[in-house]
A and B are shown apart, each in its own frame.
Chain A
């Protein structure tokens, strides 16, 4: 195997570095395990990149600093873990309402409440179905390896700018804490990014720009909301991302995202070595969700088993896609427990053959 220049990094560090590579020059955060290394990395490296690092007084302050930086046209990011993301949802709704690009990383931990610091996926509903108030969506990208975390953080900034809205990278404690070799991407110089004509940069010599989510007149608010919904439809058309693994001849398919998907991948190999025709469908974007590929799959496989580190959240989207065309059982563990390949294989065997 050829030796290429790879760096062994934790997911938290890699996502921070990827943001800097993407031209992010403002980061605002507040410590919480298991995402602390992201904040720590930013504190060490953002100043060297000529950017702004602030450890805010609270999560709410941090997300509102992002609101300000985004309004001024900067690429900006915050990160946290589940309870901290709950605090940020008010700000995320404002940012969505003001049509501002912003990247939010959630390194999900056990919940609800303070929960614990172990890996979990219990924030799927919060991430994909709103979380904050009002009619808004975030593009939500769910990496399953550290190299992919780097790729998706880069993509998150691009999509946030293109569609003018918050984009979430939905990781978990395992992806944040584990290490894997990555090839770091080429850095984008923020000065080479297209100018944001709508940004608040000082109105000398031009008409003033307005960034707000406040429209007292229902007709005016309706108009803004409808225009945003049109953008969401465009996102649903253009930005669905997913991966299929050994589904061509599969009789049973596991549907899983993030860490659970890579663990399921090993279960697929184990099942195949025992003659069980198992495949994997992995949503990479969980909003927009890959309804169509699942619909197509449900026409030719008997069972689509959803595996998550929660009580069954993504499975609702799987069932929306599949309707009654295939069996759609669910397997999950709660409390920050991580199902192993053996656990998944045992479950698969209940439906195979």
Chain B
């Protein structure tokens, strides 16, 4: 069974990295994984997104028509992807920047004040980690510990223990916010 995710926001919000960390967590958890970025000259300042598929069987398409979970970090992302989400799917909304709720009634809208939470932790740039914690809780495909392990693996060598710790706290806050 495929679990499918779209992480979307504007360039710089860290949606590409959030998706990569989920992909790494899935890999370490023994799942089949694909991670597909939108790439191109439009990314800087424009919109960015990536698609992640986690599965217990080999994955066919990394291109997903209808994601089971959407992380929308800004309004254009919610506007663009809400209609594509699978029925019964989860939409994690960055309520720090998006004032509306989901319009559809057949999906779960989960409001998380990603930027506010990140600022309260002293690290405004960790909003993507709050988002990741929230979507991990909402879908339950991989344990939060696997995501923390992925953070250590992918970021530990670059910025050391302090950054890892801030990101872990942001993950926890996001996880507990839904």
Q: Which of A174, A177, A181, A262 contacts B27 (CB 8 A)?
A: A181
Q: Find chain A residues with CB under 8 A from B56 CB.
A: 1
Contact A266 B40 (CB under 8 A): no
A292 contacts B by Cβ under 8 Å: no
B98 contacts A by Cβ under 8 Å: no
User: B59-67, B120-128, B166-174: which lies at the A interface?
Assistant: B59-67
Contact A179 B61 (CB under 8 A): no
B102 to chain A, nearest CB (A): 22
B65 to chain A, nearest CB (A): 4
Complex CA distance for A4 and B28, rounded to whole angstroms: 9
Contact B37 A8 (CB under 8 A): no
B47 to chain A, nearest CB (A): 15
B78 to chain A, nearest CB (A): 21
A residues 232-269 with Cβ under 8 Å of B?
262-269
B20 to chain A, nearest CB (A): 7
Q: Which of A8, A263, A264 contacts B33 (CB 8 A)?
A: A8
> Which chain A residue lies CB-closest to B33?
A181
Taking chain B's interface residues, is the majority helix, strand, or loop, or is none over half, making it mixed? loop
Contact A34 B39 (CB under 8 A): yes
B7 contacts A by Cβ under 8 Å: no
Complex CA distance for A338 and B63, rounded to whole angstroms: 8
Known: A340-B65, A341-B61. A178 touches B35 (CB 8 A): yes
Contact B24 A341 (CB under 8 A): no
A211 contacts B by Cβ under 8 Å: no
A10 to chain B, nearest CB (A): 9
Contact A266 B60 (CB under 8 A): yes
Q: Find chain A residues with CB under 8 A from B41 CB.
A: 117
Complex CA distance for A34 and B38, rounded to whole angstroms: 12
The range of chain A's interface size is: 20 to 34
A180 contacts B by Cβ under 8 Å: yes
> Which chain B residue lies CB-closest to A2?
B30
B residues 18-43 with Cβ under 8 Å of A?
20, 23-24, 27-37, 39-41
A118 contacts B by Cβ under 8 Å: yes
A3 contacts B by Cβ under 8 Å: yes
Q: Find chain A residues with CB under 8 A from B63 CB.
A: 174, 263, 338, 340-341
Contact B65 A6 (CB under 8 A): no
Known: A3-B30, A181-B27. A262 touches B62 (CB 8 A): yes
Mark A170-211 against chain B: 1 for CB-CB distance below 8 A, else 0. 000110011111000000000000000000000000000000
> Which chain A residue lies CB-closest to B41?
A117
Interface centre among A4, A181, A341 (most CB of B within 10 A): A181
A residues 307-353 with Cβ under 8 Å of B?
338, 340-342
Q: Find chain A residues with CB under 8 A from B30 CB.
A: 1-4
Interface centre among B24, B32, B60 (most CB of A within 10 A): B60
Contact A177 B65 (CB under 8 A): no
Complex CA distance for A161 and B21, rounded to whole angstroms: 39
Contact A6 B39 (CB under 8 A): no
Contact B37 A177 (CB under 8 A): yes
Contact B39 A265 (CB under 8 A): no
Q: Find chain B residues with CB under 8 A from A265 CB.
A: 60-61
> Which chain A residue lies CB-closest to B35?
A179
Contact B60 A180 (CB under 8 A): no
Contact A8 B23 (CB under 8 A): yes
> Which chain B residue lies CB-closest to A262?
B60
8 additional contacts, CB 8 Å, given A3-B30, A179-B23, A263-B60?
A8-B35, A178-B36, A181-B27, A263-B62, A263-B63, A265-B61, A340-B63, A340-B65
- Offer 14 A-B interface pairs, CB within 8 angstroms, sorted by A: A1-B31, A1-B56, A3-B29, A8-B20, A117-B39, A118-B40, A178-B34, A178-B62, A179-B35, A181-B27, A266-B60, A338-B63, A340-B63, A340-B64
* Chain B residues in the interface with A (C-beta under 8 A): 20, 23-24, 27-37, 39-41, 56, 59-66
The 6 A-B pairs at the shortest CB distance, nearest first, are namely: A266-B60, A265-B60, A266-B61, A179-B35, A263-B61, A3-B30
